Amino acid sequence: MAGTVAKRVSQPKRQEFSKRLISDIRALLWVVTVGGLLLAAYCIRVGYMGALPWLSAMVGLPWTAHGTVCAFYLNMAKSDHREGGITFEAAKAERFGSGSENSPSI
């Protein structure tokens, strides 16, 4: 096939595991939150007169866990991007992309 240029088939870039985990947790949080609100509305509608601490715990505890996970993820990202971190050292090894078309020469 002389004279023809083969097209590259680009595969969609896969999301890193930690980022995929965070987005999956967010989806589950919204399901739990909406489910808890619907259950509370149902309890009010049918006249349930008991205490509902289990319902507030069902919604509140996953959000607390999510906050903790995000805090640790942010700390990991900070450590990776400072001098001595994994991402920083990889960029340094490639001379910070000095051959890049987007960055001007110094």
Judged against a pLDDT cut of 70, whether residue 103 lies above it is answered with no
The helix/strand/coil state of 5 is coil
- pLDDT above 70: percentage of residues in the chain: 64
Contact 18, 80 (CB under 8 A): no
Residue located via tokens 């259950």? 39
Judged against a pLDDT cut of 60, whether residue 104 lies above it is answered with no
Contact 32, 59 (CB under 8 A): yes
Express each pLDDT in 2-32 by its tens digit.
555 555 556 667 777 777 877 788 888 999 9
Express each pLDDT in 27-70 by its tens digit.
889 999 999 999 989 988 999 888 878 888 888 888 898 888 88
Q: What is the pLDDT of residue 101?
A: 55
Judged against a pLDDT cut of 70, whether residue 73 lies above it is answered with yes
